[in-house]
Structure 1
Amino acid sequence: MENLKKAYIAGGCFWGMEDLFRVLPGIIATEVGYLGGQNENPTYENHPGHAEGLEITYDPQIITYKELLDFFFRVHDPTTVDRQGNDRGSSYRSALFIQNVEEEEQAKEVIEIVDESKRWPGKVVTTFEPFTKFWRAEEYHQDYLVKNPNGYTCHFERFGTFL
């Protein structure tokens, strides 16, 4: 367990993203929260500039960062700016919160593959933002779609692997 890694992503409403990522082989834990914003201790009611995002704890011997990104680009529309489904605004942007050069290089490689596939109607607009801090969302948001199985989500796997 000492070789576990964390990844930080945002692709629209964090409920739907978490619900899909949690069940992937190699995912140890998921938490929903806020990333990349302007205030300390953000809340659902006050998170200016923050994206609704995920902290994913994973075993890189089972699932790689590139494989996480491959799935990420299949379960949300990375070609829309500040929008997923009915959700609009910068909280719902497509973003990768980059921790190091290796993640950035791998993300660029995957985005090139996604763009070249032409499966999406446009080019990927996912932003690269430096990871600074993950703020865990309120408890009622954690595992929301497990607690509320008929809750809203606009996330689903649209097609098979890009890799």
Structure 2
Amino acid sequence: MERHRKAYLGGGCFWCLEAIFRNLKGVEKVVSGYSGGSVPGTPTYREVSSGKTGHKEIIALTFDPEIISFESLLFVFFSSHNPNTSQAQGFGYGSQYTSVIFYDDESQELSANAVIAELSPRFSIPILTLVRRFERFFPAEDYHQNYYEENKNDAYCTSIIEPQLKKIQKLYTDQLK
């Protein structure tokens, strides 16, 4: 088995997902960025936020599958946001906030679809998370990286990110660093 793998996940604001996944055993690196758009060049936050580029706010994470499986990452992912809304998460609205799993090989695609099938009966409405082939990742600007750790007193961090972190910490205690 390969020592390091990549996963590309979007579930609303990348600051939230980044803060959550940085705390998991086996996750070695998390980078906030953009993927899935169709405009040329490197997108900026301002362009992606307009909703006109087609890009999604996502995280690219590097993980050790001997410590945490792709499937385990997906269970945390589905616990960390609302997969039943289209183009919205919390107070964020627009195509950039779409729930999406970008897979980079057939095994990830199969795993993503299997986890969705397993979780679907637990929801009263359909899971709307997209499963798409990964094409390209663009890291977000530096001020977006490690946002929670650098801005813990920010109102967004205390009112949005911290409650999500506490929820994940309660659900996945055994998987935390």
Give the TM-score normalised by structure 2. Answer: 0.84
Query: In the alignment, which residue of structure 2 is the partner of 1:69?
Result: 74
3-state DSSP class of the match of 1:30? strand
* Counterpart Cα distance in 2 of 1:135 and 1:76: 22
Query: In the alignment, which residue of structure 2 is the partner of 1:16?
Result: 16
- Could you tell me which runs of 5 or more consecutive residues in structure 1 were left unpaired when the two chains were aligned: none
Equivalent residue for 1:142, pick from 141, 145, 149 = 145
* Counterpart Cα distance in 2 of 1:140 and 1:38: 24
Equivalent residue for 1:126, pick from 111, 125, 129 = 129
Alignment of 1:1-163 (within 5 A): 3-39=3-39, 40-47=41-48, 48-118=53-123, 121-151=124-154, 152=156, 154=160, 156=164, 157=167, 160=171
* Counterpart Cα distance in 2 of 1:94 and 1:126: 5
Q: CA RMSD in A?
A: 1.6
Paired AA for residue 34 in structure 1: Y
- Could you tell me which runs of 5 or more consecutive residues in structure 2 were left unpaired when the two chains were aligned: 173-177
* Counterpart Cα distance in 2 of 1:78 and 1:150: 28
Shift of 1:12: 0.2
Shift of 1:91: 0.3
- What percentage of residue pairs aligned between the two structures are identical? 37
* Counterpart Cα distance in 2 of 1:38 and 1:139: 23
Paired AA for residue 63 in structure 1: I
Give the TM-score normalised by structure 1. Answer: 0.91
The 1:122/1:160 distance shift into structure 2, 3 A limit, reads farther
Q: For residues 67-98 of structure 1, what are the alpha-carbon distances to aligned partners after superposition, in whole Å with 9 as ceiling and x for unaligned?
A: 00000000000000001000000000000111
Q: Is contact 2:113-2:131 (8 Å) kept?
A: no
Q: For residues 9-40 of structure 1, what are the alpha-carbon distances to aligned partners after superposition, in whole Å with 9 as ceiling and x for unaligned?
A: 10000001100110100000000000101222
Shift of 1:160: 3.8
* Counterpart Cα distance in 1 of 2:47 and 2:90: 22
* Counterpart Cα distance in 2 of 1:150 and 1:133: 33
Shift of 1:123: 1.4
Count of residues in Structure 1 that have an aligned counterpart in Structure 2: 158
Ranges of 4+ aligned residues in structure 1 off by more than 6 Å: none
Structure with more of its chain in helix, by fraction: 2
Shift of 1:150: 2.8
